[in-house]
Amino acid sequence: MTSTDRSTMPTPAPFHAHGWYGWVHADWQDLPAFQDIDAWLQEHSAKIILDLPCRTITRHQTDRGALYAKYMRAKNDGVIKNREMLSHLRWTVLPSRGQRIFLTCSAMLRKGHFCPLPVLGARCRRGPWGYPHELFVSAELVQPTVEELLQTLAGPAREDILTRCGAELQRFHADHFVHGDFLPRNACLDTATHRLFYLDNDRTRLWPCPPPFLCQRRNLAQFCYNLLLQAGCYDLAMPNAFLNAYLLATPWTEKRRETEYQRVVTQITTRWQRFGEKEAARLKRPAKQA
Which residues, other chains included, contact 238 with Cβ-Cβ below 8 Å and sequence gap of 6+? 150, 158, 162, 224, 227, 228, 230, 231
Cα angle 263-188-206, degrees, rounded to a multiple of 5: 60
Q: Which residue has the higher pLDDT, 287 or 240?
A: 240
Q: What pLDDT, on a 0 to 100 scale, did the predictor assign at position 80?
A: 64
**Same domain? 125 vs 235:** no
Maximum alpha-carbon separation in the chain: 59
- Give pLDDT tens digits for 28-43: 999 999 999 999 999 9
Q: What pLDDT, on a 0 to 100 scale, did the predictor assign at position 10?
A: 76
In a domain, residue 1? The reply is no
Q: What pLDDT, on a 0 to 100 scale, did the predictor assign at position 4?
A: 40
Q: How far apart are CA 261 and CA 280, in angstroms?
A: 23
Q: What is the CATH number of the domain that holds 204?
A: 1.10.510.10
Q: What is the DSSP letter of 222?
A: H
pTM of the shown model: 0.91
- How many structural domains compose the chain? 2
Confidence of residue 290 (pLDDT cuts 50, 70, 90): very low
Would you say residue 282 has pLDDT above 50?
yes
End position of a domain, from candidates 113, 139, 165: 139
Q: What pLDDT, on a 0 to 100 scale, did the predictor assign at position 242?
A: 99
Beta carbons of 224 and 268 less than 8 angstroms apart: yes
**Same domain? 133 vs 175:** no
- Give pLDDT tens digits for 86-99: 877 888 889 999 99
* AA letter at 122: A
**Same domain? 193 vs 76:** no
Which residues, other chains included, contact 155 with Cβ-Cβ below 8 Å and sequence gap of 6+? none
**Same domain? 20 vs 106:** yes
Where is average pLDDT lowest: 2-6, 9-13, 209-213? Answer: 2-6
Mean predicted confidence (pLDDT) in 1-10: 52
Burial class (CB in 10 A: 0-12, 13-18, 19+), 259: exposed
- Give pLDDT tens digits for 35-80: 999 999 999 899 999 999 899 999 999 999 999 999 999 877 666 6
Which residues, other chains included, contact 1 with Cβ-Cβ below 8 Å and sequence gap of 6+? 141, 143, 144, 145, 185, 188, 199
End-to-end CA distance of the chain: 13
Would you say residue 6 has pLDDT above 70?
no
**What is the domain range of residue 231?**
146-284
Q: HSE (CB half, 13 Å, CA atoms) of 47? A: 10
Q: What is the DSSP letter of 274?
A: I
Confidence of residue 81 (pLDDT cuts 50, 70, 90): low
Mean predicted confidence (pLDDT) in 147-165: 96
**Same domain? 155 vs 129:** no
Q: What pLDDT, on a 0 to 100 scale, did the predictor assign at position 75?
A: 78
**Same domain? 152 vs 133:** no
Q: How far apart are CA 126 and CA 130, in angstroms?
A: 5
Mean predicted confidence (pLDDT) in 275-289: 75
End position of a domain, from candidates 139, 172, 188: 139
End position of a domain, from candidates 139, 165, 197: 139
